[in-house]
Amino acid sequence: MSRDKTTKILEDDAAVGAENESDETVETTKPAEAGDTAEAGDVEDAETAPELTEDGDESDDTGEPAAVATDTAKRRTQWSRVVAFALLPALALALALGAGYLKWRDNSVRSSTVAADTSVQAARDTTIALLSYKPETVEEQLGAARDLLTGEFRDSYTSLTNDVVIPGAKEKQISAVASVPAAASVSATESEAVVLVFVNQTVIVGQDAPTDTASSVRVTLEKVGDRWLISKFDPV
């Protein structure tokens, strides 16, 4: 081949190579098509869009559906109102009633204790007064003892002393001395009490030797005003 033909072939090859490089450059700088842009936008929207549940409801940050979260909040609010307006006042009322009952119970126990103590002392003193006398003062002593009684027992005691004890003590010079070595409360309220009394009595008739007797009596007392008065006197 001649030199001129060789040169011509090389020049043609160079021109073709330059044309190919120009086409590649154009393809490289060509902007992305609309379809590629849309796909990128869909990916970004998918990342920022709220997550949907299977039912189509949006879910909140806790993963619960928005409707379920709203219902839960409403129920919590309703229970808070129930606690505030119903349970707490009821609890306060129950505590107040309990405190009142305990106070009443305490006062009742104290009143019963006081009634027992005072009725036992009254039973002791009155029993001694009923069974103790001297011939020269029998009328005054038993008359004073009668004022410590009440009800039917007062009437029967008055009849017995006026008809039997006072005349007999004056005529035969009888004297009697009573003592109470022990007494115990059987029951006691603010208005009535029962006391078991143990009695020792020494009786002297004229110049005879003293005679000692021991007995026990069930004494029933009633509260009249601020005094305990004997209404029953039953030997046991």
Give 231: exposed, middle or buried? Use CB within 10 Å, 0-12, 13-18, 19+: middle
Residue 150 has pLDDT above 80, yes or no: yes
Mean pLDDT for the stretch of residues 148-153: 96
Q: Does the model's pTM come out above 0.85?
A: no
Percentage of the chain lying above the pLDDT 70 cut: 56
Is the CA virtual torsion 120, 121, 126, 128 positive or negative? positive
Confidence of residue 73 (pLDDT cuts 50, 70, 90): low
Residue 94 has pLDDT above 90, yes or no: no
Residue 179 has pLDDT above 80, yes or no: yes
Query: Rounded to whole angstroms, how far apart are CA atoms 61 and 50?
Result: 10
Q: E-strand spans in the chain?
A: 174-188, 192-205, 211-224, 227-235
Confidence of residue 41 (pLDDT cuts 50, 70, 90): very low
Q: In this predicted structure, what is the pLDDT of residue 59?
A: 46
Residue 9 has pLDDT above 80, yes or no: no
Residue 155 has pLDDT above 70, yes or no: yes
Residue 92 has pLDDT above 90, yes or no: no
Q: In this predicted structure, what is the pLDDT of residue 68?
A: 54
Residue 46 has pLDDT above 60, yes or no: no
Q: In this predicted structure, what is the pLDDT of residue 38?
A: 42
SS3 content of the chain, % helix, strand, coil (to 5): 60, 25, 15
Q: In this predicted structure, what is the pLDDT of residue 43?
A: 41
Q: E-strand spans in 93-191?
A: 174-188
Mean pLDDT for the stretch of residues 139-153: 96
Buried b (16+ CB within 10 A) or exposed e, 53-74: eeeeeebeeeeebeeebeeeee
Residue 169 has pLDDT above 70, yes or no: yes
Q: In this predicted structure, what is the pLDDT of residue 110?
A: 75
Q: Average per-residue pLDDT in the chain?
A: 76
Confidence of residue 95 (pLDDT cuts 50, 70, 90): confident
Q: In this predicted structure, what is the pLDDT of residue 45?
A: 47
Confidence of residue 111 (pLDDT cuts 50, 70, 90): confident
Pick the more confident residue, 74 or 159: 159
